[in-house]
Structure 1
């Protein structure tokens, strides 16, 4: 569990509620069913129009990465690659076959299988880079869903506010309803802006960062496996891969 992301999410809600109270309003004033429908379901409708169902589904699955991000440890991966290189020099490429079964990452397993099968370095690189680019494109499309939600929701909030003000204008003859009506109208704006800037856009940026780190790990793996296929010295492989580590 990523505590920082969890704290940030909770703090986002607290800021809105506490800010409302400190401004002299009430928590109940933040709840408006009409504004909720317009902003949240309107944003969802826009996303459904823009994206295919598979993209939306993948984006929902990616949300857990924000709070349970995968571990990206380049140094650990480099150490494993150097270990594979040493095994291949002592036992040959077939000596890496037991490593395939112990790997839980399909990308690593595929790379090792290509290596054990005696694939040429260029072939290994081209096959793995296709997988890497495809995976990155799919993940970035999922992150883009949250970014687009952050773009649409403020506009839906403005639409909700305008619709609320329209309702207020229809009750100008009753001054007792004006204050409550105007306050309710601006709740939609709060929903839209808060949803975008406290949640959707930060989530999109975090997911893009995680996708970038995952791609870097795969680049290290591809470079390492190609180096093993070329028969490079383990120390040379380690020195080359250390360039990926800041």
Structure 2
């Protein structure tokens, strides 16, 4: 599980609850089932109306992706590309047939298969870049689902407040019953703003971040595949791919120095 997603949700809820209770309120005052159903139900309906059924069906997968902690193994990828480049230089590209069968990443396996089959590197580059662009577009569309929910939610909350106030205006002759109804009316606005800014918009940003990380991983893989096909020196290819990573990650463990020493030996 992605701990940052869980921690963020817990911290947000605790902060809101503490702030309300510190001011003299109780958690029971924050619960209004009619406002809750109205805001979330109408928001869900608006989101369904905004997207195709195919996109709506991906929402459970989006939640799974939000809480799935599957970090990209950048250093493992670079190590693999270095090893493939070394074997290709020693034994030729055709010697990579068996290694390709062991690669579980469809994108990398497809690219390496094309390289071994002698497909022109320009064609390979365009093909893989299109795959990356298509992946980014899918992820961007997924993030837009939560962005749309975050946009609709506050407005629907205000709509819920207005609806409650309409009911309240018809019962002014019974002032003793107005308190709970007014509370429920304002809770609709609170729910709308809270769900949008504490959940939906942060969910969208989280998906965008995960998409960027995966895009970087595939970009490094693409450059590695082209480098292997070109017959680049393994050390030179490793240095080229490490440039894509932040300085701290790039120099962790002294990988460049270790490889250079082995090459010199």
Short-chain TM bin? over 0.9
* Correspondences of 1:126-137 after superposition (within 5 Å): 126-137=126-137
1:51 aligned residue: 51
Provide the aligned length of Structure 1 versus Structure 2: 246
Q: Tell me how far 1:158 sits from its aligned partner.
A: 0.7
Moved more, 42-51 or 31-40: 31-40
Deviations 1:211-244 (A, max 9, x none): 0111011111111111111222222212221220
Asked if 2 retains the 8 angstrom alpha-carbon contact of 1:12 and 1:198, the reply is yes
Between the aligned partners of 2:27 and 2:115, the Cα distance in structure 1 is 61
Between the aligned partners of 1:115 and 1:240, the Cα distance in structure 2 is 19
Q: Tell me how far 1:36 sits from its aligned partner.
A: 1.6
Cα RMSD for the two superposed structures = 1.5
1:191 aligned residue: 191
2:20 pairs with 1:15: no
Between the aligned partners of 2:166 and 2:42, the Cα distance in structure 1 is 18
Q: Tell me how far 1:55 sits from its aligned partner.
A: 1.7
Between the aligned partners of 2:17 and 2:158, the Cα distance in structure 1 is 20
1:96 aligned residue: 96
Normalising by the residue count of structure 1, what TM-score does the alignment of the two structures yield? 0.94
Deviations 1:146-197 (A, max 9, x none): 1111111111111111111111111111110121111110111111111011
Deviations 1:1-24 (A, max 9, x none): 222221111222333333333333
* Correspondences of 1:54-133 after superposition (within 5 Å): 54-133=54-133
Between the aligned partners of 2:225 and 2:17, the Cα distance in structure 1 is 52
Q: Tell me how far 1:77 sits from its aligned partner.
A: 1.4
- Give the gaps of 5 or more residues in structure 1: none
Asked if 1 retains the 8 angstrom alpha-carbon contact of 2:100 and 2:109, the reply is yes
Which portions of structure 1, spanning 4 or more consecutive aligned residues, are displaced by more than 4 angstroms?
none
Q: Tell me how far 1:83 sits from its aligned partner.
A: 1.0
Q: Secondary structure at the match of 2:171?
A: coil
